[in-house]
């Protein structure tokens, strides 16, 4: 039997590949002659760097960058030599958890550190970038990131406007001549799962500003400032992107990537699946496919990794049996059965505390036991 395994991480317990290898070992213990292939799985959010770096023979590169409040912070990116690719989570440079609740104010945060991550990857030889932009603490429309990459944003008197959200209102002109030439030769694929435009009632300031610490007054100011900045940017670059679905992602980073860097905004799961070599070939003609994640609920059916890859598996191999494994499930998870997952199975053996259930060894044992019980129903 040809078996393919691609499971998202059980966050706080097992990585994507650790979960996948556990399932593989459980199958081989019962069916040693099966042909089994394991692939990583992520959706562009937390865990994407680890999943792709480990699954594609890459490495994790550690460095210090400028954090959202301007202080040095430890960060990292995934380096995949065979593809000259960098995998970056912007939240590693400007994520909301980096900012204490009492200091949250998107007027005072910056994406400068994300630009530093891109520069470090360029130094490493990367020319392809996969960047997840969820979880930001910022609303600077990419001002900080673009400044780090060499673009100059100037006030009316010719001095730099700054790198935080509040500097957007001070920008009078844009000089792109200093943009790092390596950026122009790079390809940016952006994992983006929101469809918000840049400005207006559904824009980044109104919808996401409050969770980043913006008061109603700050929201109004930011929306006005970003609209002003967008007009200048679109004029300078000869490209209109402010109404593009996803332009408002991560405080306007979607707009910045599309307008200045030629980036493509792609649903996270679709982007990751298209970036894994050999995945489509393995799924074509497979007999049994295992996927899963830590928790399965109604949101799982809305394009998250396991459902996206299950749909791909069904399209390539309609008769393949697709099974999802999860640490737990909530009412509404049954929606995944309409999206390509034939059945899902929570793995806990019985009542237990969340802390005990998330112990890596407990997760391995529960995965093994559940998989081997499932196999008992699938005897050929």
- Contacts of the segment 213-216: beta carbons below 8 A, 24+ positions apart: 213/99, 213/101, 213/103, 213/104, 213/105, 213/106, 214/105, 214/106, 214/107, 214/139
Tens-place pLDDT, residues 225-240: 999 999 999 999 999 9
Average pLDDT over residues 29-52: 90
Confidence tier at 50 by pLDDT (50, 70, 90): confident
Distance between CA atoms of residues 199 and 230, nearest Å = 9
**Is 102's pLDDT higher than 90?**
yes
37 - beta bridge partners?
A: 4
Residue 24's SS3 state is helix
Give me the DSSP letters along 87-99: EEETHHHHBGGGS
Q: Which residues contact 116 (CB under 8 A, 6 or more apart)?
A: 63, 65, 66, 93, 148
Task: Specify whether the CB–CB gap between 341 and 324 falls below 8 A.
Answer: yes
**Which run of H or of E encompasses 222?**
helix 216-237
Q: Is the pLDDT of residue 247 over 90?
A: yes
79 and 121 in contact (C-beta within 8 Å)? yes
Determine the pLDDT at residue 380: 58
Helix (H) or strand (E) segment spanning residue 217? helix 216-237
Hey, what are 20's tokens? 């996948």
Comparing 41-50, 115-124, 328-337, which segment has the lowest mean pLDDT?
A: 41-50
C-alpha atoms less than 13 angstroms from C-alpha of 259 in its C-beta half-sphere: 32
CA-nearest of 6, 306, 250, 300 to 131 is 250
Greatest extent of the chain over all pairs of C-alpha atoms, in Å: 77
State whether the Cα torsion 153-100-89-328 is positive or negative: negative
Domains of the chain: 2-40+278-375 (3.40.50.10350), 48-269 (3.90.1510.10)
Task: Give dist(CA 179, CA 324) in Å, integer.
Answer: 46
267-295 mean pLDDT = 92
Q: Is the pLDDT of residue 14 over 80?
A: yes
pLDDT tens readout for residues 179-215: 999 999 999 999 998 899 999 999 999 999 999 999 9
Q: Band of the pLDDT at 379, cuts 50, 70, 90?
A: low
Query: What is the predicted pLDDT for the residue at 356?
Result: 83
Instruction: List the strands of the sheet with 85-89, edge to edge.
Output: 59-66, 72-80, 85-89, 128-132, 187-191, 264-266
Mean pLDDT, all residues of the chain: 94
Interstrand relation of 173-175 and 343-346 (parallel, antiparallel or unpaired): unpaired
Cα 196 to Cα 43, 212, 229, 235, distances in angstroms: 19, 16, 17, 21
């Amino acid at each position: 039997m040809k078996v393919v395994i691609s499971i998202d991480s059980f966050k706080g317990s097992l990585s994507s590949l650790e979960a996948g290898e556990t399932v593989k070992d459980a199958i081989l213990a019962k069916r040693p002659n099966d042909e089994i292939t394991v692939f990583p799985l992520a959706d562009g959010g937390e865990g994407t760097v680890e999943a792709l770096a480990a699954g594609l023979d890459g490495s994790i590169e550690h460095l210090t960058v400028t954090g959202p409040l301007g202080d040095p912070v430890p960060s990292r990116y995934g380096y995949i030599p065979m593809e000259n690719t960098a995998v970056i989570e912007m939240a590693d440079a400007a994520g909301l958890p980096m900012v204490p609740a009492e200091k949250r104010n998107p007027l005072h945060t910056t994406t400068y550190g994300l630009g530093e991550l891109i520069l470090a990857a360029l130094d490493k030889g990367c020319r392809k970038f996969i960047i997840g932009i969820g979880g930001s603490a910022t609303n600077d429309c990419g001002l900080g990131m673009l400044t780090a990459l060499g673009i100059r944003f100037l006030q009316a008197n010719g001095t730099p406007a700054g790198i935080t959200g509040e500097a957007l209102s001070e920008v009078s002109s844009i000089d792109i001549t200093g943009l790092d030439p390596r950026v122009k030769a790079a390809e940016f694929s952006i994992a983006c799962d929101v469809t918000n435009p840049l400005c207006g009632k559904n824009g980044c300031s109104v919808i996401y500003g409050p969770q980043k610490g913006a008061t109603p007054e700050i929201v109004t100011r930011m929306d006005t400032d970003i609209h002003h900045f967008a007009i200048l940017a679109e004029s300078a670059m000869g490209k209109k992107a402010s109404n593009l679905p996803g332009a408002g992602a991560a405080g306007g980073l979607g707009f910045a990537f599309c307008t200045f860097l030629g980036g493509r905004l792609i649903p996270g799961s679709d982007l990751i699946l298209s970036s894994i070599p050999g995945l489509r070939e393995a799924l074509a003609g497979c007999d049994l496919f295992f996927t899963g994640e830590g928790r399965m609920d109604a949101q799982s059916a809305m394009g998250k990794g396991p459902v996206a890859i299950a749909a791909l598996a069904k399209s390539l191999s309609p008769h393949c049996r697709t099974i999802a494994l999860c640490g737990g499930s909530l009412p509404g998870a049954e929606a995944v059965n309409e999206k390509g997952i034939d059945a899902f199975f929570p793995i806990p053996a019985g009542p237990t505390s969340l802390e005990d259930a998330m112990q890596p060894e407990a997760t391995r044992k529960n995965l093994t036991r559940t998989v081997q019980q499932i196999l008992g129903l699938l005897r050929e």
